[in-house]
Amino acid sequence: MATILIVDDDPQTRQLYVSLLSPLGHKVIEASDGEKGIRAATESHPALVISDVLMPNISGYEFVSRLRQLPQFATVPFIFQSASLFDHQTRALGATCGVTHFIPKPSEPETILEVVHSALGSSAQLPPAAPAPPTVTEHIPWLLDAVYERSRELEAVNHTLEQRLSELAATNQELEAFTYTVAHDLRAPVRHISAFGELLSQKFSHALPDDGRMLLNRILRASHQMGVLVDDLLRFSRLGRVQIQRNRVDLNRIVQAVRLDLKPDLEGRDIDWQIQELPEIEGDQSLLYQAIANLVSNAVKYSQRQPHAQIEIGTSESGGENTVIFVRDNGAGFEMEYAAKLFQVFERLHAAEEYEGNGIGLAIVKRIVDHHGGRVWAEGSPGKGATFYLSLPAGKGEYAKPRERAAGR
Amino acid sequence: MPNQGNVLLVDDNAGDRELVQLSLQDSHCAGEIVVARDGAEALDFLYRRGDFSERTGPPPAIILLDIKMPRVNGIEVLGKIRSDPQLRLIPVVMLTSSPQGRDVEVCYRMGANGYVVKPFDFAQFTATTRTIAQFWCSLNEIPSGVVA
């Protein structure tokens, strides 16, 4: 039989405690806020105080701190009810005010009774609790308010982010549909101009005067360029959502394959190739092929006016875990002040009449390198050539040094 | 050349149909080329319905199937063919305008025998369709039991 004080601004919670504890012979006294709780406590001398944490006027922390400062309540056991969200903080803060027990909200009646009886039994052993330093108790309500304010802000931000995310997903879907339309509906007419023009040239070229043949050839060249542009654009846009497949990639084999594929462009050219031994890295084979193919074919293209072109492919010293490879040519080069523009889509530093191109190739290289978590940059000067660098994560040790691993077994 | 397989060409684009027909006729590597202008017509042909209710003769040795078409698209036609016990062994090559990554996967998963993007270059275009026809109409043997 004990007198128990329950302080809670919610009448239903108070009623729950009354109906649970009264039948067991306890005298339950109710108070709807901290001030009333302090008055009720000094009048009825309860053997146990149960309090809510969040209450109007004064919080549970202030309530218990003020009660603890009265000598007759220095050792009275004290229970906090707390919502599980802030359980950890509540316990830590509560302990500094001398709260000995906690009841999570909501709880089964069995749990409540268990905690109440354990608290009642503990009153004798309770050491005199030192009153919490006033600085702590003063800051507690402020802290608690700040925590709740912050969590409300976070909820609002989360909500906005979720909205943005679904808007972005919708925009992405629209873009994909647009790409599909470009792919399908633009490719067909371009293909027809190109194919029927070719047929015209094959079958009736002899019937055309020289200037007519010249005009037809211009149409054919333009439609070919248009075809390449549409395909490059598609490749570029697809890279936006590609998932990279990481494997062991031998850069030497990629360079070999790239040179083989470029053979038609090398006819009639005098190129001095200097190719160093390249490392193996971890990456997406087909994407890396595309990136290196673009760089090497650029080197071939921009060195076409050199009677003795030189193209060098190799690795340069890298700091840390990245592998740096470079492709260098002695071709047209560029002015360094425009270096940043090189990798932007549709940006070109040379007129199309000088060097064929559409300004997508290096943007594709950048996207591929970005996907690998690497970096790309260029150095050059007009008339003296250009060097393009790729810095790529070398990958796990097992990939970086395959020969040593083999020798160890 | 005798016994060359027929081609069912399904494409809504008249220009593309003409290009395929031109390249196949010049190469003499396919038998008859039957044209369907969309997926619905293709299914009519396969099930001998509508304009094709009087059709006799063997099933096509190869179906060249565009994807984006009005009424019934190529992927739907492919699904229908692969789920019908009497049609499912007919080889189908998707001959499409657009190199769409997702379509490629979907088509192969549904049992397409190939996925070819129509090249821009006419010489390449001709070479591609001829290679397909040569393989499927002359070299490949269809198992007996296909009734279409």
What are A173-200's pLDDT values in tens digits?
Answer: 787 777 767 766 788 888 899 999 999 9
pLDDT surpassing 50 at residue A42: yes
Percent of chain A with pLDDT over 70: 88
pLDDT classification of A86: cutoffs 50, 70, 90: low
Report pLDDT for A29.
93
Which CA distances in Å does A263 have to A300, A314, A327, A329?
Answer: 11, 20, 18, 17
Average pLDDT over residues A132-152: 71
- For chain B, helix (H) and strand (E) counts, in that order, are 5, 5
The Cα of A228 is separated from the nearest Cα of chain B by a number of Å equal to: 8
Condensed to tens digits (0 to 9), the pLDDT of residues A233-277 reads 777 777 776 778 888 999 999 999 999 989 888 888 889 999 999
- Which chain A residue has the Cα nearest residue B13? A188
Instruction: Determine the angle formed by the axes of helices B74-82 and B39-46, rounding to 10 degrees.
Output: 20
Report pLDDT for A288.
93
pLDDT surpassing 60 at residue A125: no
pLDDT < 70 positions in chain B: 1-3, 99-101, 143-148
Tokens of B105: 């996967």
B76: nearest Cα among B67, B84, B63, B85: B67
Report pLDDT for B39.
93
Which CA distances in Å does A203 have to A137, A199, A206, A235, A267?
Answer: 97, 6, 8, 34, 28
* Beta bridge partner(s), residue A4: A28, A48
Tokens of B130: 């001829």
Condensed to tens digits (0 to 9), the pLDDT of residues A58-81 reads 888 888 888 888 888 888 899 988
**A199 CB within 8 Å of a chain B CB:** yes
Tell me the Ramachandran region of residue B129: left when phi exceeds 0, alpha when psi lies from -120 to 50, beta otherwise: alpha
CB contact under 8 A, B120 and A194: yes
What is the complex's ipTM, to 2 decimals? Answer: 0.71
The contacts of residue A264 (CB under 8 Å, 6+ apart) are none
Report pLDDT for B145.
63
A357 SS3 class:
coil
The contacts of residue B73 (CB under 8 Å, 6+ apart) are B39, B67
Condensed to tens digits (0 to 9), the pLDDT of residues A369-407 reads 998 989 999 999 998 999 999 999 877 544 444 333 333
**A213 CB within 8 Å of a chain B CB:** no
Tokens of A267: 């006819």
Candidates B98, B115, B118, B124: best to mutate against A (most CBs of A within 10 A) is B98
Residues of A in contact with B98 (CB under 8 A): 180, 183-184, 187, 234
